[in-house]
Amino acid sequence: MYKPFKSIDDQIALLESRGVICDRDTRTILMREGYYSIVNGYKDPFLDPTATVRAGDDRYLPGTRFDDILHLFNFDRQLRITVFKSLILAEAVLRTTCAYCFSQLHQDEANAYQQSRNLNQPTNTEHDIVTPLINQIEKIISKGARDPREGGKGYIRHCVLDHDSEVPLWVLVNDMTIGQVANFYRVMGREARGTAARQFEELYRTSHKKSREITSDKIDSIYSRIKNFRNICAHDERLYCARPFGANNSLAQLMRDLELVLTKQKHREFLQQVESLMMRLKGDLPEHASRIFKDMGIDSLEQLRSYMESIRKN
């Protein structure tokens, strides 16, 4: 078999044969978290490239402990939790803004979001995203209208049964995924997109006490990254070195994106939490921290602190 079954004892023996120092806690941790999740996910900074090529399989740097790999695993888990909390706040802003601005423009038309005449296919997208999005919305309404005991949503069912199937967009967006909401923003028409962008600018100005241009295209870019990183967090995938769909989509770029859509206070709190995690990692893995930070898109703790200071002053 490509990957034959190995008992926990076999897994520990394999690690030790490759140069990893295990201890009495290794067995319990492998039983609880799994070899693949910890070792295969977080081994890279600890591998000896020359020895690995020579041996034809993984070989670790001298002195590498299982605890070292576990420190990185735990750092990434806490990082995912921290990032995910901020992404949820960022999602809420887009949901609210889309619902408000589109509904304001189509006040006299029930379920205007289901009419293709009210939506515009982006010119820079080859494939039709309007028709699939309308189909997805119709499925959300159809499923939501079921009895709650059959998976329906009471708030959608109420609209369908008691209000002639009129489901306000500000109700519907709560059942749409962030990908669907981001796509809706892309297609909801030039006027509505522009109004939404101005609302983002107003929110930024109110929170940060200064003006900042936030274009519709910038919002598209920000929420494309937010969607991708949210999926990584939600599916418990490796985050710190992730580059979804391009080298520029680093965690550091996401941190800068969040400045434009979170309140200044929430963004500063988020940065402080990331700084705290990085400080702890530097204490746990002093010889590897610099490389791990660079994989995040951050040159050093000092660079992050300089950015944080610029946020505080401005």
Instruction: Please state the domain extents for the chain.
Output: 8-64, 71-313
Residue type, position 167, single letter: V
Between helices 216-234 and 66-105, what is the axis angle to 10°? 140
- Using CA atoms, how far apart are residues 83 and 162, in angstroms rounded to an integer? 40
pLDDT of residue 248: 80
Phi, psi of 47 (to 5 degrees): -80, 145
Cβ count near 219 (within 10 Å): 24
Between helices 130-144 and 178-187, what is the axis angle to 10°? 130
Tell me which DSSP letter residue 33 carries.
Answer: H
**Average pLDDT by consecutive 10-residue portion of the chain (314 residues)?**
88 98 98 97 97 97 98 98 98 98 95 95 87 96 94 94 94 96 96 97 97 97 96 96 88 97 98 98 98 97 96 86
What is the pTM for the complete model shown?
0.93
